[in-house]
Structure 1
Amino acid sequence: MSATHSSRLQAVVFDWAGTILDFGSCAPMGAFVKLFEQFGIEITIAEARGPMGMAKWDHIKALGSQPRIAAQWEAKHGHAFNDADVDRLYEVFTPMNAASARDHADFIPGALDAVAAARARGMKIGSTTGYNRPIMEVVAAIAAQGGYVPDNLVCAGDLAAGRPSPLMMYRCFADLGVWPAHAVVKVDDTGVGLEEGLNAGTWAVGLAVSGNVMGLTLAEWQALGADEQQARREQATEQLKAAGAHYVIDSVAELMPVLDDIERRLAAGERPGR
Structure 2
Amino acid sequence: MIQLAAFDIAGTTVDDHGHVYRALEDAVRENGVDVRPEDLQTWMGADKVEAIRALLRLGGYAGGDASGDARGIDALAIENTVATTFERFRALLAERYAAEPPSPFAGVVEALAELRGRGIKVALTTGFSADVAAPLLETLGWTVGEGAAHTLDAVVTTSEVAAGRPAPYMIHRAMEKTGVFDVRSVLAAGDTVVDVQAARNAGAIAVGVLTGKLTREELESQPGVVVLDSVADVPALDITQA
The normalised TM-score by structure 2 is 0.84
Deviation digits for residues 183-210 of structure 1 (CA, Å, limit 9, x no counterpart): 11001111111111211111011012x1
CA pair 80-72 structure 1, distance change in 2 beyond 3 A: closer
Q: How many Å separate the matches in 1 of 2:82 and 2:61?
A: 15
| Secondary structure of 1:93's aligned partner | helix
Residues 57-206 of structure 1 aligned to structure 2 (within 5 Å): 57-66=49-58, 69-70=59-60, 74=64, 76-80=68-72, 82-102=78-98, 103-144=100-141, 149-206=151-208
2:216 corresponding residue in structure 1: 237
Letter in 2 for 1:143: L
Q: Deviations over 1:1-26 (max 9, x none)?
A: xxxxxxx1111001100111116x61
1 or 2, which has the higher helix percentage?
1
Question: 1:33 & 1:77 partners in 2: Cα distance?
Answer: 21
9-18 or 69-78, which deviates more = 69-78
Offset, 1:150: 1.5
Aligned AA for 1:243?
Q
TM-score, normalization: structure 1?
Answer: 0.75
Structure 2 residue identity aligned to 1:253: A
Secondary structure of the corresponding residue to residue 25 of structure 2: helix
d(CA) in 2 for partners of 1:165, 1:47? 18
1:29 corresponds to 2:21: yes
Work out whether residues 8 and 124 of structure 2, in 8 Å CA contact, stay in contact via their aligned partners in 1.
Answer: yes
CA distance 1:61–1:149, shift in 2 (3 Å): same
**Between Structure 1 and Structure 2, how many residues are aligned?**
230
The alpha-carbon deviation at position 133 of structure 1 amounts to 1.1
Structure 1: which amino acid aligns with 2:220?
K
Q: Which moved more, 1:35-44 or 1:196-205?
A: 35-44
Query: Where do 5+ consecutive residues of structure 1 fail to align?
Result: 1-7, 214-235, 266-271
Conserved? CA contact 1:41–1:72, under 8 Å: no
Q: Distance in 2 between matches of 1:197 and 1:84?
A: 32
CA contact (8 A) 1:32 1:93 kept: yes
CA offsets per residue over residues 89-127 of structure 1, 9 Å max, x none?
Answer: 112222322333442411111111111121122101011
Structure 2: which 5+ residue stretches go unaligned? 144-148
Matched with 1:11 is: 4
Question: 2:146 — aligned with what?
Answer: none
Residue 170 to residue 71, structure 1, CA distance change in 2 (3 Å): closer
Classify 1:148/1:195 alpha carbon distance in 2 versus 1 (closer, same or farther; 3 Å): farther
1:19 maps to amino acid: T
- Report how far residue 84 of structure 1 moved: 2.9
Report the residue type matching 1:48 in the other structure.
Answer: L
SS of 2:26's equivalent in the other structure is helix
Contact 1:54 1:164 in 2 (8 A): yes
